[in-house]
Chains A and B, each alone.
Chain A
Amino acid sequence: MSNNGSKQTAIVRIQRFNPDTDKKPYFQDFRVSITKDTTILDALHEIKTHQDGSLTYRRSCRHAICGSCAMCVNGKHMLVCNVPMKNHLNRKGRVSIKPLTYLPVIKDLVVDRTSFWEQYLRVKPWLIPLEDVPEKEYRISPDEVAALNNAEKCIMCGACYSACTIVGSNKKYIGPHALLKSFLRILDPRDAGVRERLEEVGTDEGVFRCHTIFNCIDACPKKLDPTKAIETLRGLAIKRQAYEAAKRKRQQTIIEPVLVRE
């Protein structure tokens, strides 16, 4: 690693794979001049623009909110758009970038997220409204909103799903991303689908398949806690009928005060 004032040269080792020409993935080194503010995505742009236009990767917002640029950097999943390259260089000034693990590689750093989205749709991530909808708004307490905060900040980057050891061995597993979303809907007092949701996730393809390895927490760039959500869902799946009754009771109180009655 050469260091010239605030600039230095980093060696970016990238896993390359072109299904049309390569039998298996291989690593290629690129030298990039960086400053302390250069992000890993900036370095990838530099390589693609000036060194090898065939380098393929996903990116969009560059503000760590779209989730497109999740990759495996030095063995850890992260969004490469908001992490400075300098923080991830080893003593030799080298950083290793690979596609997300446990997902099929389409080309270079782009993975096939089909199973990720299929499992996401499986839990019906949208809100299923109550039959009686209030005219103006639902009234939810700050405590209830706080309980949902863990799940609401998920940006669907796939870092947790592709870090999960169980996903790596069993593609029928719903996965931490979808279970976190299901947790969001199941705890949401406005949602009417608690029974079907708990029936869907309370199986050996859902919360009971999780082996509590915690990779999802370690991989999440937003520092969310899917494992805690899964543990909560396990408890609710076991006590499903009691939870359904409690939720129905709660739903009466969020509707009644603002319902328009004839």
Chain B
Amino acid sequence: MYKTTGFISFLLRRVTGVALVLYLFAHIWVLGSAVDGPETFDARLNVVQSPFFKIAEIALLAAVLYHGFDGMRLLIVNYFKVTDARKSLFYAVFALSVILVIAGGIPILLFMFEGLGG
């Protein structure tokens, strides 16, 4: 295996891509229950209010942000041919994703603790 920052970004892109596809099934499982009536929908919605799913939501946020930003990084390389900036762009994408995951993760955690306390 030839390990570079490019390889790490590729690996993360693949893992987050697969994670997003798996999330899609869970998403449809919850939303799809709406056709079975409000009771079923509420029951499934309650399942995803548990602390485990709140942590999973933060992981989902991380996957969405990294996958999206990394895609934009590749588009930038593709259109502007800035291959010399490949490592800087990867670090920028990673840092931006981490900052936004923290910014978005804190409210989710607060909501989770509020729910647990209440």
Q: Contact residues of A with B, CB < 8 Å?
A: 72, 75, 77, 101-102, 162-165, 168, 211-215, 217-219, 225, 227-228, 231-232, 234
Q: How far is the CB of A221 from the nearest CB of chain B, in Å?
A: 14
CB of B46 closer than 8 Å to a CB of A = no
Residue of B nearest to A72 (CB): B2
**A164 contact set on B, CB distance < 8 A:** 2
Q: How far is the CA of A101 from the CA of B4 in the complex (A)?
A: 13
Within 8 A of A (CB), among B1-40: 1-7, 9-10
**Interface centre among B2, B3, B4, B86, by most A CB within 10 Å?**
B2
**B5 contact set on A, CB distance < 8 A:** 214
**16 A-B pairs with C-beta separation under 8 A:** A77-B2, A165-B7, A168-B2, A211-B10, A212-B78, A213-B7, A213-B10, A214-B4, A214-B5, A214-B83, A217-B83, A217-B86, A218-B6, A227-B77, A228-B81, A231-B77
**B78 contact set on A, CB distance < 8 A:** 212, 231, 234
Interface class of chain A by DSSP = helix
CB of B74 closer than 8 Å to a CB of A = yes
In the complex the two chains form, is B7's CB within 8 Å of A231's CB? no
**B81 contact set on A, CB distance < 8 A:** 228, 231-232
Q: How far is the CB of A239 from the nearest CB of chain B, in Å?
A: 14
Known interface pairs A213-B7, A228-B83. Does A102 touch B74 (Cβ–Cβ under 8 Å)?
A: no
**B7 contact set on A, CB distance < 8 A:** 165, 213, 215
In the complex the two chains form, is A213's CB within 8 Å of B6's CB? yes
Residue of B nearest to A219 (CB): B2
**B86 contact set on A, CB distance < 8 A:** 214, 217, 227
Q: How far is the CA of A78 from the CA of B3 in the complex (A)?
A: 14
In the complex the two chains form, is A163's CB within 8 Å of B83's CB? no
Known interface pairs A211-B10, A231-B78, A234-B78. Does A101 touch B2 (Cβ–Cβ under 8 Å)?
A: yes
Interface readout for B58-78 with A: 1 if CB under 8 Å, 0 if not?
000000000000000010011
Q: How far is the CA of A134 from the CA of B70 in the complex (A)?
A: 49
In the complex the two chains form, is A101's CB within 8 Å of B1's CB? yes
Residue of B nearest to A218 (CB): B4
